[in-house]
Amino acid sequence: MIGIWILGDQLSPDHPALSALEQQLGAGQARRQCRILLLESSSVLAARRYHRQKLVLVWSAMRHFSEELRQAGWRVDHLETDRFSEGLAGWISHHGLTELQVMEPAERPFRRAIERLTLPIPLQWHPSNAFLWSREDFAAWAQPYKQLRMELFYREGRRRYGVLMEGDTPLGGQWNYDQDNRKAPPKGLAGPQPQWFEPDGITEAVIAKVDQLAAGLEAAGEAGLPGSSQPFGWAVTRQQALAVLEHFIATRLDGFGPYQDAMVTGQPTLWHALLSPYLNLGLLGPLEVIRRLEEAGLERGTPLASLEGVIRQILGWREYTHGLYWWFGEEYPARNHFGAARPLPAWLEQLGGSEMACVDTVLGELKATGYAHHIQRLMVLANYGLIAGLDPQALTAWFHRMFIDGYDWVMQTNVLGMGLFADGGLLASKPYAASGNYINRMGTYCKGCRYNPKQRSGETACPFNALYWDFLARHSDGLRRNPRMALVMKQLEKIPAEELAAIRATATAHMG
């Protein structure tokens, strides 16, 4: 009897182990000669206190996937266990399995954890189908370059998969319409309502379990679980995930482009697709989403800036960051270019209480759903971490725990590299540091905030302003060597010494 262990982020109907077995033995024989395991282990909370919505999403999706496999005729065991190793060992012994098959994990730590297991039977790995580019293909692309830039990789992906192409040239004669997609929000900007779902009995049982686990941790005097478990509206099945895709196409695709960088109070999703949790769980495949977006967008006459913009997020950025995660190697997570070491403020774990309207608005939305869009993540949360000098490893781990779509491969490159520049420029060509001026221009959060977005020093100065100039001053020697920082470093030099001292004192006072 062959055992197939399906991990919680591998909930694909085309799981390669199942597909390979069907090809080898035929559908009926494959179902008779194998058992499938999905393990729901509470031991994950020992390493990370995940957001409640994230735990509910993953565990409910696993339970629904198990039931769908059973209905398709597979023998499936969905087990709740304290530790993966114990649950796996007992399952192998109980069923007398002779071989274990596993799809390659997306995350390096989980691959290492599986390799450390002492298994009584042979282990066979299957290549992952969660990404279009294999690690080997990405390495072959990356090898000739001294600097790896996403735009070059994205263009190669467009050619490789024939997406938005006319022969050898990009549709519309332009590869990238990013400049068209950075508009500040006009007054009253509101996006369409997202697609949410009422929890069924399976999801309600998972919500009860998560809340019970949280209560147990708190009763034992330990840190509980962050975030709110209810209301919960995320898709937990492939059918629901496909419905989210179609809803995005019908109501949000055409408007996706222009205001994708905007931040509006009371509008946490605007025109964003909300597809990343389902891509990262395996409920949706990247190529099927790209093909459907391209087909529907061209049929609808979607503005090319919007269509290209959303496809670039999947075919470009998602594939690029995953490729870099493996390419950069095992030492990458420990990088700390600026030597940042400040501990995370308590309001990050509490998901509110910073007294900065932009930060507290984003944290409030994150607390409710486990979600914030990419500019909120990069230019509010990660930007604060960068200019305040927060410990990059601690902040990257915080992002991993809090976000509904957060995984090791996602957050290492997106937070450590893009957001915090802790890799010294391996990913980004300059630090994405910004003052309150950017947040004021691209968002509505500053209205009503106790801080003044135009003030750089004093008790009512926006902390982003003081921290921004303090960051530039702290690291001026190194930043001057970056040609992309030349203009802003000249602006720093023009600030009178007395004023700069007041700004830096304000930054110090803010950090306590």
Domain count, the chain: 3
Nearest to 231 by CA among 265, 207, 206: 207
- Which pTM value belongs to this model? 0.96
* CATH code for the domain in which residue 188 is found: 1.25.40.80
**Same-domain check for residues 422 and 369:** yes
d(C-alpha 489, C-alpha 383), whole Å: 18
| Other CB atoms within 10 Å distance of the CB of residue 176 | 17
374 occurs within a structural domain: yes
Q: Is residue 382 part of a domain?
A: yes
Q: CA-to-CA distance for 173 and 419, rounded, in angstroms? A: 31
Q: Are residues 156 and 69 in the same domain?
A: no
Statement to judge: residues 393 and 356 lie in one domain? yes
Q: Are residues 140 and 268 in the same domain?
A: yes
Residue 307 domain-assigned?
yes
Kindly state whether residues 189 and 311 are assigned to the same domain.
yes
In a domain, 321, yes or no: yes
Are residue 156 and residue 286 in the same domain, yes or no?
Answer: yes
Does 460 reside within a domain? yes
**Sign (positive/negative) of CA torsion 105, 107, 109, 110?**
negative
User: Same domain for 173 and 152?
Assistant: yes
For residue 353, what are the CA distances in angstroms to 29, 261, 268, 339? 58, 24, 19, 27
Q: Which domain holds residue 142?
A: 135-196+233-328
Assigned domain for 150 exists? yes
Q: Are residues 117 and 152 in the same domain?
A: no
Whether residues 19 and 120 share a domain: the answer is yes
Distance CA 381, CA 358 (A): 9
Structure tokens that stand for 402 in this block: 């809090």
pLDDT given for residue 84 in this prediction: 85
214, part of any domain: no
Q: Which of 54, 125, 102, 130 is nearest to 283 (CA)?
A: 130
pLDDT, position 12: 96
CATH number for position 501:
1.10.579.10
> Which of 328, 355, 384 finishes a domain?
328
Q: Are residues 167 and 270 in the same domain?
A: yes
Between the alpha carbon of residue 162 and those of residues 140, 142, 174, 290, 371, the distances in Å are 19, 20, 15, 11, 32
- Same domain as 250, residue 179: yes
Whether 53 is covered by a domain: the verdict is yes
Domain boundary among 77, 92, 126: 126
Amino acid at 351: L
pLDDT at residue 83 in the model: 86
Same domain, 321 and 421: no
CA 48/CA 42 separation, integer angstroms: 10
Domain final position from 126, 155, 180: 126
Distance (Å, rounded) from C-alpha 184 to C-alpha 180? Answer: 11
For residue 264, list its beta bridge partners.
267
Mean pLDDT for each 10-residue chunk of the chain (512 residues)? 96 94 87 94 90 98 98 95 88 93 94 91 96 96 91 96 96 91 92 97 98 95 94 98 98 94 96 97 98 98 95 97 96 97 97 98 98 97 98 98 96 96 94 97 95 97 98 96 95 96 97 87
Report d(CA 12, CA 279) in Å as an integer.
Answer: 9
Q: Beta strands 165-166 and 169-170: pairing type? A: antiparallel
Instruction: Report whether 404 contacts 9 (CB < 8 A).
Output: no
For residue 73, the domain's CATH number is: 3.40.50.620
Total residues belonging to the chain: 512
**What whole-number distance in Å separates Cα of residue 278 and Cα of residue 64?**
14
Beta bridge partners of 99: 2
